[in-house]
Chain A
Amino acid sequence: MQWETVIGLEVHVQLATRSKIFSGASTAFGAEPNTQACAVDLGLPGTLPVLNEQAVAMAVQFGLAVHADIAEVSVFDRKNYFYADLPKGYQTSQMYHPIVGPGDVDITLDDDTTKRIRIHHAHLEEDAGKSLHEDFLGMTGIDLNRAGTPLLEIVSEPDMRSAKEAVAYLKAIHAIVTYLGISDGNMAEGSMRCDVNVSVRPKGQEAFGTRAEIKNVNSFRFVERAIAFEVERQIELIEDGGTVVQETRLFDPERDETRSMRTKEEANDYRYFPCPDLLPVVLDEAYLDHLRSQLPELPADKRERFQSELGLSAYDAAVLSASREMAEFFEEVHHVCGDAKQAANWVQGELSGALNRENLSITNSPISARQLGGLLSRVIDGTINGKAAKQVFQALWNGQGENADAIIEAKGLKQVTDTGAIEAMIDQVIAESPAQVAQYRDAEPEKRGKMIGYFVGQVMKASRGTANPQQVNGVLIAKLDALL
């Protein structure tokens, strides 16, 4: 039997507001436990929530970026359940009237085709605290620093058909929120987390299979692995005559498997009802227009512009627009050197290679975009040749100079274009290579082209790489042919 996988994602994005969604406490990551939780976050009696306008603006910006309807009136509801890291005994969320309505986002697949994934809605809610199970002598510690951090939960339609599509969607969402600057998108710190709904059905069948929800998957790689495992599990189960039960599962990255957490029957009844402490959020057109006018260029637009305006290939444009950091780096290099293709080649080639070797992200690149752009300017204006450029790159990487010009000067890498100097070097090489000259002379004319390489190499060596290779080539051929 041929099986089809059906995937829907619920992505929780921590919004990069300075303070929490309903209190004035800071949202900074990594502080000492419980130092960033105020009376409101602790759920102390009598305290009341006050909505952070910045969180609303960020949610709206996301909605506008995914072409969604923005609700004129959205309402906060209470999701009631008991847990030690949920101080009030309810999470303030938006169940019935979310702020962002249906929208869509295009993902790019491996074969450069695009697919449209529909977004069901996105809603604002508050994050819970964290339970810490280590170091408490068998008890659980509670850190409420995260409690009240604003989250935007983005719920997709079940439009993805493979783990790769799911990852591409997640990356697209990641790119949008980081381009917008509404989240740092740091998955390792939990700024973006994801619940994955997975089901399988016989190919051609219209009805969905029973889904399992895999909770809290927190990296692109884990999403791919969790789906792969879950799909295989469900298919095996059905083929063995079993049925998939609707349940919540946990992905265990250590063992690379998903495990049942609770079944539908064990699911909480969250007793949602409108939060009486918060007024409905009413947004008018003027407010939306204002936010619309502030939207930055988004990934899809950037990719399009890289192709149409800068003449990059579809592949280069996709790679360079995939993340805000990459795009900003590339654009700065391009801005400094003025040559989009050189900038694209170097960012994706020399720079990405070096970053990968040392496992660094582009934000931690030892070479700044300005430095790389300066280096490329010297290649473009002929000050140095390609070979010297690689030396300069290495020197910049190692921090051996402020900028390309200083390194070129210090290492004497300036390209030699003076014909007299080049001729002198060539004459010397010819004089010192009688055997090779003899071979050249005796060779069939069509083989001489290859033999010229030896002489070029020697001249470049003599010039410590600074001679202009094209010039060397031309003069060498003329001089050697004169000896025939």
Chain B
Amino acid sequence: MHDKTLTQLAAALKSGEFSSRELTSHYLQKIEKADGTLNSFITVTGEQALNQAEDADKARAAGNAGLLTGIPLALKDIFCTRDVKTSCGSKMLDNFIAPYNATVVEKLNAAGTISLGKTNMDEFAMGSSNENSHYGAVKNPWDLTAVPGGSSGGSAAAVAAGLVPAAMGTDTGGSIRQPAAFCGITGLKPTYGRVSRYGIIAYASSLDQAGPMARSAEDCAHLMNVIAGHDVRDSTSVARGVPDYTETLNAPLSGLKIGLPKEYFGDGLDPDVEQAVRDAVKVYESLGATVREVSLPHTHYAIPAYYVIAPAEASSNLSRYDGVRFGHRCKEPVDLIDLYKRSRAEGFGEEVKRRILIGTHTLSEGFFDAYYTKAQKVRRLIRQDFLDVFEDVDVLMGPASPTPAFDLGAKKDPVSMYLQDIYTIAVNLAGIPGISVPAGFAGGRPIGLQILGTHFAEAQLLNVAHQYQQATDWHLQLPAFAEENA
């Protein structure tokens, strides 16, 4: 079962090949068997999943099944789930149980999907390797000595290892696309405002966006049909009609204009990754697309601008973790200041503290204009770069990450870790959608092709990705780890 895509599983459930309960049990057993090694889940909700699966089977028997009824999924542990712990990968929230579901969770529940549990992640979504988790690092199922990427590393590893057919992630600077690339799966970061942020623990509110991580673009399209749309509880979600993302998957690509940003093929790009991306582009040419080089001149300002804006917002968003109402509280505080200092010192990990300090500094009196205001100007220029090139081309293509997955423990210096996101981060600053699809291997580790479109071009990205996946089979390959633990 685990070698099937979500789309195939949905068809099998519909035809009665197996029940949701059987399918759910199968995945729970796989998690039981394999996740001691991978560490991709923080919480597994087996009993709840089996109950949901029984309800799904009943609904199907009663003729009330939707397309995804009975499909098991996993949620990054950043989505608030009623009655189930939501830790955000942090000691700070190790005891936090939300009294509400995120809107995405509500929508998935309403569609009849089943949650197997909550996946591991970098603490508060800050990281590119999943090594910043209070619950320990996650291993890459393609190579257990490699990181799965981050921050949605648990979701990516679990899907790649066949522990769940698809999972939800969030992406603030690449946190869906980079782990999808590292783990050889398909991950879509939608346009900012396309998916509700309500109930998703905020890292950087103007950049955060949730999206699907699955085996194929088609799977992502089905999930987007469920989770996209305006939410009155999120003022930044956009009131704009949601298309059926599956409807245009098979549109022909003849005449598609592809741009290759020259800044995405410069120094620091691994030659194997570059080769894989150029090979993928050739596949598109064979499908009738035309290719030209374009320029996004402000690309190299993206990382500095991001590391002003995101920490600034984070420093404010994370102020609520103060030990007063929920979350970690230090033992026997002597006064309020002591309560704050020790609760936060004990509850947050090193990278989170680093970003809170950076953000607090950049917003300080006397520094605000030099950092924050300047970064916002840069952000507008970066956005304009994209709007300009999308006048000339339909989509952009490039690598999702400069290298394949690196070794666990390899990147000790935070800046070298930040540079991991060089191709993904500008996308969040511009608010446009991006998708990463598997496009080959280097040294046994997957390589991701990133495809970018203009605002609300998700249907086009899914179409472009799907057509590639019709012509190639990179996305169908499973790591040996998945087979060994079958």
Contact = CB atoms under 8 A, between A and B. Distances in A.
Contacts of A142: 324-325
A277 B205 contact: yes
Contacts of A46: 79-80, 86, 98, 100, 102, 197-202
A50 B232 contact: yes
A50 B326 CA distance: 22
Nearest to B196: A48
B313 A276 contact: yes
A82 B319 CA distance: 7
B205 A78 contact: no
B206 A47 contact: no
Contacts of A43: 320, 325
A269 B235 contact: no
B324 A84 contact: yes
Contacts of A277: 202, 205, 235-236
Contacts of A84: 322, 324, 336
Given A48-B235, A88-B320, A271 B100 contact: no
Contact of A89 (B204, B236, B319, B365): B319
A453 to B, nearest CB: 76
A49 interface: yes
Interface in A45-101: 45-51, 78, 80, 82, 84, 87-90
B99 interface: yes
Contact of B316 (A39, A47, A48, A271): A271
A43 B200 CA distance: 13
Interface string B361-393: 001110010001000000000000000000000
Nearest to A267: B365
Contact of A39 (B99, B205, B206, B324): B99
A82 B322 contact: yes
A80 B363 CA distance: 10
Contacts of A80: 315-316, 319, 363
Contacts of B315: 80, 271
Contacts of B365: 269, 271
B360 interface: yes
A269 B99 CA distance: 33
B280 interface: no
Interface in B67-91: 79-80, 86, 88
Interface in B276-311: none
Given A84-B324, A276-B206, A47 B198 contact: yes
A429 interface: no
A279 interface: yes
A278 B235 contact: yes
B340 interface: yes
Contacts of B318: 89
Given A88-B320, A90-B319, A273-B368, A48 B234 contact: yes
The dominant DSSP class at the B interface is loop
A42 interface: yes
Interface string B304-348: 000000001101101110101110000000001000100000000
Contact of A271 (B96, B197, B235, B360): B360
Q: What class of interface size applies to chain B in its complex with A?
A: 35 or more
B107 interface: no
Most chain A Cβ neighbours within 10 Å, of B316, B326, B364, B368 = B316
Which residue, B201, B319, B365, has most C-beta atoms of chain A within 10 A?
B319
B232 to A, nearest CB: 7
A44 B316 CA distance: 14
A44 B319 contact: no
Contacts of B340: 82
B325 A273 contact: no
Contacts of B99: 39, 44
Given A46-B98, A50-B233, A89-B322, A273 B80 contact: no
Q: Looking at A44, A87, A269, A279, which has the most chain B CB atoms within 10 Å of its CB?
A: A44
Nearest to A268: B365
A272 B315 CA distance: 12
A46 B236 CA distance: 13
B236 A279 contact: yes
Contacts of A42: 325-326
A447 B378 CA distance: 99
Interface in A222-272: 269, 271-272
B93 interface: yes
B263 to A, nearest CB: 27
A39 B97 CA distance: 12
Contacts of B204: 276
B364 A45 contact: no
Interface in B413-448: none
Contacts of B325: 42-44, 87, 142
Nearest to B202: A46
A412 B320 CA distance: 72
Contacts of A39: 98-100
Nearest to A278: B235
A273 B236 contact: no
Interface in A27-43: 39, 42-43
A88 B202 CA distance: 12
Contact of A45 (B201, B322, B336, B360): B201
Interface string B175-207: 000000000000000000000011111101110
Contacts of B205: 276-277
A279 B235 CA distance: 7
A82 B321 CA distance: 10
A44 B96 CA distance: 10
A51 B232 CA distance: 10
Contacts of A278: 235
Interface in B95-126: 96, 98-100, 102
Given A39-B100, A87-B325, A142-B324, A48 B319 contact: no
Interface in A124-152: 140, 142
B88 A45 contact: yes
A142 B325 CA distance: 9
A50 B364 contact: no
Given A45-B86, A48-B234, A276-B313, A88 B319 contact: yes
Interface in B222-236: 232-236
B140 to A, nearest CB: 28
A48 B233 contact: yes
Nearest to B323: A84
Given A42-B325, A46-B79, 9 more contacts: A44-B326, A46-B86, A46-B201, A48-B198, A50-B233, A87-B320, A90-B319, A272-B368, A277-B236
23 contacts: A39-B100, A43-B320, A46-B86, A46-B198, A48-B233, A48-B235, A48-B236, A51-B235, A80-B315, A80-B319, A80-B363, A89-B322, A142-B325, A269-B365, A272-B368, A273-B313, A273-B363, A273-B372, A276-B204, A276-B236, A277-B235, A277-B236, A278-B235
CB-CB nearest 3 A-B residue pairs: A89-B319, A271-B363, A276-B206
